[in-house]
Structure 1
Amino acid sequence: MEREQMVFDVLIVGAGPSGLACAIKLAQLSNAKQLDLSICVIEKGSEVGAHILSGAVFEPSALNELLPQWQSMDSPITTQVKEDFIYLCRNELSAIKIPNLFVPKTMMNHGNYIVSMGNVCRWLAEQAEGLGVEIFPGFAAASAIIEEGVVRGVVTGDMGLDENNQAKDSYMPGMELRAKQTIFAEGCRGHIGKQLISRFKLDEGVDPQHYAIGFKEVWDIPPEQHNLGRVVHGAGWPLSDATGGSYMYHADNNQIYIGLIVDLNYKNPHLNPFAEFQKMKHHPIFASVLEGGSRVSYGARAIAKGGLHSLPKTTMPGAMLVGCDVGTLNGAKIKGNHTAMKSGMLAAEHVIESILNKTDADHEYSSENFDKKLQASWLYKELKSARNFSAAIHKWGNTLGGAFNTIDQNIFSGSLPLDLHEPQADYKALQLAKDAYKIEYPRPDNKLSFDRLSSVFLSNTNHEEDQPSHLVLASKSIPITRHLADYDEPAQRYCPAGVYEIMEDDNGPFLQVNSQNCIHCKTCDIKDPSQNITWVTPEGGGGPNYPNM
């Protein structure tokens, strides 16, 4: 098939924090060195920020390096954290406020900001474009171009195919976007990044990546219940069958960002992470703040949280992986935006150094030795000091794991001579349904708790109805013959958008896939016990359109 081609010096896949920081740094250095680079960022969302979902308490360390004058640049980063509250929720009614002395110091947020990362990314995109970067939203990278073992760019997805992959009247073939260096900044469980890690064996010798699913809702609340700049984190109830934690951030405009993080190494196949989140909001800590308020937005997203022990190599010929595509989140801080940005900035510096050091102007820029540059940075130092944080919680639970982390971080600054490893992938953790107890969840009251479909409505999710499903089943029989029989088909519960349903017809039960509901969280790609589901990009612009998330 003849495809239109566009050629750039550097192509960045993904307009999240790492991709945009990379683009800005590239443009800054290129302009300073008078290199006149063509830099392109493509984004699968309908606009920059449409697919960005993060808590978020933002540490500005990387931004201070990237744009030192950001506070005078009309940025959306304005709500400074004023106080931290950490609770151990013992049951549905009671909680203990943990004194800061017994909390890992890395979880304290002095000097940090409560932000909408979607709005931060929209602002970063403006800065990048002001420096000459081209940004194309609605362009979904479908596959990498690999020639003679070298990544040469990406092919964007075809537009105008029906559900049987047949061309409609509106058909337009995808474009080849070629570059001397391609930087993948797709976010957690990036589908091309996943393929490249496998193709180039980048994860040999490291632990499997570990994940959580993070939920978030934005609420408007009565002014008398709002405490601007307050940060609340919780552990314990309602998560008795999983590790994770809750959060509630008092943002500006009398809004609350509230959510729950559920680690995806849980064992009980009857667990429903969405229902756990809805139940959580009835705890007095949260209900007292939300009462009388109104829910504005909803979303969910997978989080790569394996840390240093799960960090793959980041380079291959012609390309680099940055940010959550490799998993740069600092679990001890519960933050990944500043580390993602720093990884993108380091990639940009490496590209410029490669250009200045090379002799063949027509050869692709070398990504060799980028891993060494990464390891010499403060980013790597952070990940090393936090290397045991998530594993300790997984192994010993919130109480004992939390005690270990407090000692490790507060006394030893993360330098205990001990490495905790988690060699089992999350999808292998499920026990058989017959060996697990069933969990009964209360019905939503439509005041504090809600059902999945009304929640998806608030995410502004939309896909063209007549298009190929972007949730690809390797086998249509496995969900019934194995998963329903062994695990009561957990996709019915782990999906936060009601995509997967067990239905029956004259031939018996079958798995119905409502792909139009998909909010692109990637949980199915991660937790499916047979790895039977692969998430691929739908048509560009499809998916959620998150405002203020």
Structure 2
Amino acid sequence: MAEIERESMEYDVVIVGAGPAGLSAAIRLKQLDADLNVVVLEKGSEVGAHILSGAVLDPVGLDALMPDWREKGAPITTEVTEDRFMVLGPQGSLKIPTWPMPPLLNNHGNYIVSMGNVCRWMAEQAEALGVEIFPGMSCSELVYGENGEVKGVVAGEFGISKDGTKGAGYEPGMELHGKYVFLAEGVRGSLSKMAIAQYGLDAASDVQKYGLGMKEIWEVKPENHKLGQVTHTMGWPLGSNAGGGSFMYHAENNQVYLGFVVHLNYTNPHVFPYMEFQRFKHHPEIAKVLEGGKRVAYGARAITEGGFQSMPKACFPGGAMLGCSVGLVNVPRIKGNHNAMLSGKAAAEHAYAAIQEGRSGDELTGYDKELRDGPVGEDLKKVRNVKPMWSKYGLTASLVGGGVDMWAATILGRPLFGTISHGKTDAEATEPAKRHKPIDYPRPDGKISFDRLTNVSFSGTNHEEDQPTHLKLKDADLPTHVHLPKFAGPSQRYCPAGVYEFVKAEDGSDKFQINGQNCVHCKTCDIKDPLQNIVWTVPQGGDGPNYPNM
């Protein structure tokens, strides 16, 4: 829609995404110069509505950004009191002692938090400094300048009808221009994908890898609650079907944050990540905590797992990518929020220096260098072989070999095994269904385990129905002609919200149905589709999940 005339607004820095990375950048810019014009655009209905994370927060990022966060009343109060690591079997468990583990896996001094609430608090701090924050503003396009640089984004387009025409209440949105544009959209952001493709930012990096993280919040009986306890598990029920594991964090108010991560490089298209999560909750170690309690929230999101070797170039002409847009999760630690904050702070400092020099629209190469050589890079370099070891050699090899490798990196300053490549993308890893047996999953009992659609109702998800689906097919025939016969229709299983299903048409033929209203914006379909036929794009602003305190 290049012919559409839009009004424009000028800023010093335009930031897409009000997560920990984007808000850290906004805060740091205003700390450096109160007169800078900074805007943050958030597609969720409010700040925090689309934030989902475990989360155990390493405060190193916040310490660097706002050393007085405690005095300012940050909602970060539940310090970790106990670390537990377990390998699960079908009925029993093996507790792994923490003393032989590298120090970087120790959660001493970290906090169990709701990152949604942390981001809401950070937004308050940013607004107090003069940052403009606009929620409900989806950013659908990059705007390019005369020299091919990114000079802004299109935000706030509303009112396109389901048939693609402009409805009666159509609003074209605005172009927001900046000397620099920061993309802090989270995992697999649509604008970040455009920037990576436009400028070849991933030309020198390994393939990116992903996991699907699903989370429920439970209110449990007081006698089952242990404030500050952190539990991580591996093994059952995934076994050899897929890599992954779980977390269980005991937060305040008798709440437990329960999560399950499935690595998306699994080969068997019959794997049903959501049902693996539901089955996991019936393990005696988990069920004894949940029994008598109630689930109060559900959500899901993809997680970047490629690590240091998969980081694309983080700067491009006119801007930079921050946080999970680059892929800064430390997989063994199951942490990325601290690195997201550090990336936002670093990007802000380099943009500020450039603006002071009268620059704009160029590449912030110093930011990319700091990301790799500074605290973020040091955090990720030490653990860069754990994920590819797990993918290639299995759980046991990852525990032993990965542990040795991390110890070597801690003591010697470099991993023992150099840098191991990931190999295939997660989409390419999917094998034809005929090579694998279907998996029989037990039916949810409605007390501890639940069907997908019931759980999605606990995510607060809502989409305006009279708009084109934001889930695009490159080829409308591939789902029924290839995906179903060759791969047994994996989209009906890998989606944690029941968006995709195969139904019978009146003539008895198979029909691919997209229930876009259910989408929780996890991006798994954009990642795992075997032929990369599904493209996730932003719906109109304010749509999607409305997480209260994920």
Shorter-chain TM-score tier = over 0.9
Describe the SS at the equivalent of 1:295. strand
8 Å contact 2:268–2:431 — kept in the other structure? yes
Shift of 1:396: 1.7
Matched AA of 2:289: V
Describe the SS at the equivalent of 1:332. coil
- Does 2:484 match 1:487? no
Q: Which residue of 2 aligns with 1:127?
A: 125
Q: Which residue of 2 aligns with 1:527?
A: 528
- Does 2:224 match 1:194? no
Describe the SS at the equivalent of 2:268. coil
8 Å contact 2:526–2:536 — kept in the other structure? yes
Q: Which residue of 2 aligns with 1:68?
A: 67
- Does 2:515 match 1:517? no
Shift of 1:208: 0.8
Shift of 1:427: 0.1
8 Å contact 2:57–2:337 — kept in the other structure? yes
Describe the SS at the equivalent of 1:71. coil
Describe the SS at the equivalent of 1:439. coil
**What CA distance in whole angstroms lies between the structure 2 residues aligned with 1:256 and 1:107?**
21
Matches for 1:172-187 after TM superposition, within 5 Å: 172-187=171-186
Matched AA of 2:216: E
- Does 2:281 match 1:281? yes
Residues 104, 88 of structure 1: alpha-carbon distance in 2 compared, 3 angstrom cutoff: farther
Matched AA of 1:117: M
Shift of 1:478: 0.2
Shift of 1:356: 2.4
Deviations 1:326-353, CA, capped at 9 Å, x for gaps: 1011123210000011011100010111
8 Å contact 1:107–1:334 — kept in the other structure? no
**What CA distance in whole angstroms lies between the structure 2 residues aligned with 1:55 and 1:196?**
28
**What CA distance in whole angstroms lies between the structure 2 residues aligned with 1:463 and 1:307?**
33
Of 342, 364, 373, the match for 1:367:
364
Matched AA of 2:316: M
- Does 2:38 match 1:30? no
**What CA distance in whole angstroms lies between the structure 2 residues aligned with 1:75 and 1:326?**
26
8 Å contact 1:347–1:370 — kept in the other structure? yes
Shift of 1:388: 0.9
Q: Which residue of 2 aligns with 1:164?
A: 163
Q: Which residue of 1 aligns with 2:395?
A: 398
- Does 2:7 match 1:4? yes
Describe the SS at the equivalent of 1:70. coil
**What CA distance in whole angstroms lies between the structure 2 residues aligned with 1:219 and 1:371?**
40
8 Å contact 2:150–2:361 — kept in the other structure? no
8 Å contact 1:185–1:322 — kept in the other structure? yes
Residues 366, 486 of structure 1: alpha-carbon distance in 2 compared, 3 angstrom cutoff: closer
Q: Which residue of 2 aligns with 1:118?
A: 116
Shift of 1:300: 0.4
Deviations 1:449-477, CA, capped at 9 Å, x for gaps: 00000010000000001111000001110
Q: Which residue of 1 aligns with 2:223?
A: 224
Q: Which residue of 1 aligns with 2:82?
A: 83
How many residues end up aligned between the 2 structures? 541
Describe the SS at the equivalent of 2:365. coil
Matched AA of 2:435: D
Q: Which residue of 2 aligns with 1:95?
A: 93
Matches for 1:233-272 after TM superposition, within 5 Å: 233-240=232-239, 241-272=241-272
8 Å contact 2:316–2:363 — kept in the other structure? no
**What CA distance in whole angstroms lies between the structure 2 residues aligned with 1:103 and 1:392?**
17
Describe the SS at the equivalent of 2:193. helix
Shift of 1:411: 4.7
Shift of 1:376: 3.1
Q: Which residue of 1 aligns with 2:440?
A: 440
Greater CA deviation, 127-136 or 154-163? Answer: 154-163
| RMSD, aligned α-carbons | 1.2
**What CA distance in whole angstroms lies between the structure 2 residues aligned with 1:167 and 1:194?**
26
Shift of 1:105: 3.2
**What CA distance in whole angstroms lies between the structure 2 residues aligned with 1:207 and 1:301?**
22
Greater CA deviation, 148-157 or 345-354? Answer: 148-157
User: TM-score, structure 1 length as denominator?
Assistant: 0.97
Describe the SS at the equivalent of 1:497. coil
User: TM-score, structure 2 length as denominator?
Assistant: 0.97
**What CA distance in whole angstroms lies between the structure 1 residues aligned with 2:130 and 2:251?**
32
Matched AA of 1:534: V
Q: Which residue of 2 aligns with 1:15?
A: 18
